[in-house]
């Protein structure tokens, strides 16, 4: 409680709190102290108010509204009239008994996330280890390239991957045809679910590994050099040093990076939506996010789309709880 801020003179010009200006800084000892304390109570809330207001109106209120929409039969006529049509949990009943959810949308979402997260974390860690061994100028250069991959908009990145695997003109086709692996007809990578998602995974890994690399690198820089030297003296190989020295120390970093990637990869949208067939043309390749969007905006059934969105949110919330727990385990917030 010994806080320097209590010593602060009252009546600051920028003071947003209810401190009486008339009290003055050096008059009675009683009133300024009281007002300073009142102000100390209100100042943080005044600072927080604008941000909280924006978050509440543009993030929390819509979240509540999507839950409300999910228990309605909300179609185009409702959009026009603004009237609501409460139908209870019917949307959820429809959703959960739909074979499509269990055989297509959910596997597409979860299996893809699993693969993409594993790939992102593994590749990002490898790059971080590489960066850690580089000298400063080389490290800065590689880091620059990595940041570009990160900064590249998902939309243009996705188009590049589509082009690479393009049926008619893509480099992959040219290479495969040159070595005789595909016939003159080429091969449509996007028609088939697993090939479609393999490309999506490449795209997402390419876009997501820089975050892992930079974060893990930051962690690596905190590993005391003596530990590695000691292990080296004991005859530990590179893998053993990584496994028994680096991993235990970086466990919290890996946890955060994995959970964050999981959350991001569960809600991949543009990378799927923009690929051929991904915006609804090929029902085999939709994931939960795209399905919700197509349901709402292409099929004009906002209620069912909302139910899908709520389902996705609940899954992410479960993962988030794990994330918050991980964060809170390392003191710091208290």
Partner 1 sequence: MLVSALSQGPSSGADALLPTSITLDNFRFVLAEAGFLRYLANSLAVAGLTVAGSGVLALLAAVAVARFRFRLRTTVLVMVLIVQMVPLEALVIPLFLQVRDLQLLNSLLGLAAVYIALALPFAVWMLRGFAAAVPAEVEEAAYIDGCSWGRMFWSVLLPLVAPGLVATSVFSFITAWNEFILALTFMNDSDQYTVAVGLRQFFGQYTTDWGSVMAASTVITLPVMVFFLLVQRGLVAGLTRGAVR
**Closer CB to partner 1, residue 11 or residue 186?**
11
Could you tell me the two tokens for 117?
């997260």
Tell which positions 243-262 bind partner 1, by CB under 8 A: 253
User: Does 225 help bind partner 1 (rule: CB under 8 A)?
Assistant: no
Select the residue interacting with partner 1 from 20, 28, 153, 224 (CB under 8 A).
153
Say if CB 307 and CB 70 are below 8 A apart.
yes
Select the residue interacting with partner 1 from 31, 34, 38, 40 (CB under 8 A).
40
Q: Which stretch binds partner 1 (CB under 8 A): 89-97, 192-200, 226-234, 312-320?
A: 312-320
209-232: burial string, b at 16+ Cβ within 10 Å, e else: bbbbbbbbbebbeeeeeeeeeebe
Tell which positions 156-195 bind partner 1, by CB under 8 A: 156-157, 159-161, 163, 166, 169, 171, 174
**Closer CB to partner 1, residue 231 or residue 319?**
319
On the CB side of 185, CA atoms within 13 Å amount to: 3
Question: How many chain residues bind partner 1 (CB under 8 A)?
Answer: 102
**Closer CB to partner 1, residue 232 or residue 267?**
267
Residues in contact with 128: Cβ distance below 8 Å, sequence separation at least 6, in sequence order:
212, 213, 214, 215, 216, 217, 220
User: Does 142 help bind partner 1 (rule: CB under 8 A)?
Assistant: yes
What torsion, rounded to 10 degrees, do the Cα atoms 211, 213, 217, 223 define? Answer: 110
Q: Is 243 helix (H, G, I), strand (E, B) or coil?
A: helix
User: Does 122 help bind partner 1 (rule: CB under 8 A)?
Assistant: no
Q: Is 72 helix (H, G, I), strand (E, B) or coil?
A: strand
Q: Which stretch binds partner 1 (CB under 8 A): 178-186, 223-231, 233-241, 323-331?
A: 323-331
Report the nearest approach of partner 1 to the CB of residue 320 (Å).
Answer: 4
Taking residue 52's Cβ as centre, other Cβ atoms within 10 Å add up to 12
CA atoms of 129 and 126, how far apart (whole Å)? 5
Tell which positions 55-84 bind partner 1, by CB under 8 A: 55, 57-63, 65-66, 69, 79
Q: Which stretch binds partner 1 (CB under 8 A): 36-44, 113-121, 183-191, 227-235?
A: 36-44
Enumerate the β-bridge partners of residue 140: none
- CA dist list (Å): 211 to 52, 141, 215, 253, 256: 27, 16, 6, 12, 11
User: Does 199 help bind partner 1 (rule: CB under 8 A)?
Assistant: no
Q: Which stretch binds partner 1 (CB under 8 A): 100-108, 111-119, 139-147, 231-239?
A: 139-147
Select the residue interacting with partner 1 from 154, 176, 198, 232 (CB under 8 A).
154
Q: Which stretch binds partner 1 (CB under 8 A): 96-104, 179-187, 228-236, 313-321?
A: 313-321
């Amino acid at each position: 409680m010994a806080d320097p801020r209590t010593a602060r003179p009252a009546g600051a010009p920028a003071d947003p709190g209810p401190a009486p200006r008339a009290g003055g800084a050096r008059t009675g000892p009683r009133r300024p102290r009281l007002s300073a304390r009142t102000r100390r109570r209100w100042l943080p809330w005044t600072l927080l108010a604008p941000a909280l207001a924006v978050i509440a109106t543009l993030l929390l209120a819509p979240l509540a509204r999507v839950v409300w929409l999910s228990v309605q039969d909300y179609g185009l006529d409702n959009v026009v009239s603004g009237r609501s049509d409460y139908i209870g949990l019917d949307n959820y009943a429809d959703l959960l008994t739909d074979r499509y959810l269990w055989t297509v949308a959910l596997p597409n979402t979860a299996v893809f996330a699993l693969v993409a997260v594993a790939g992102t974390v593994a590749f990002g860690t490898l790059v971080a280890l590489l960066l850690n061994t580089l000298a400063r100028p080389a490290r800065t250069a590689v880091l620059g390239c990595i940041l570009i991959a990160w900064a590249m908009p998902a939309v243009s990145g996705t188009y590049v991957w589509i082009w690479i695997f393009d049926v008619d003109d893509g480099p992959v086709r040219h290479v495969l045809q040159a070595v005789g692996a595909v016939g003159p007809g080429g091969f449509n990578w996007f028609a088939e679910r697993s090939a479609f998602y393999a490309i999506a995974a490449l795209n997402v890994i390419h876009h997501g590994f820089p975050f892992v690399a930079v974060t893990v690198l930051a962690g690596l820089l905190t590993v005391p050099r003596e530990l590695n030297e000691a292990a080296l003296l004991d005859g530990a190989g590179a893998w053993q040093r990584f496994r028994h020295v680096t991993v235990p120390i970086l466990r919290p970093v890996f946890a955060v990076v994995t959970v964050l990637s999981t959350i991001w990869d569960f809600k991949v949208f543009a990378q799927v939506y923009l690929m051929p067939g991904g915006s609804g043309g090929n029902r085999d390749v939709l994931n939960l996010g795209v399905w919700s969007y197509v349901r709402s905006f292409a099929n004009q059934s906002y209620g069912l789309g909302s139910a899908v969105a709520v389902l996705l949110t609940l899954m992410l919330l479960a993962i988030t709880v794990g994330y918050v727990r991980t964060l809170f385990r390392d003191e710091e917030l208290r």
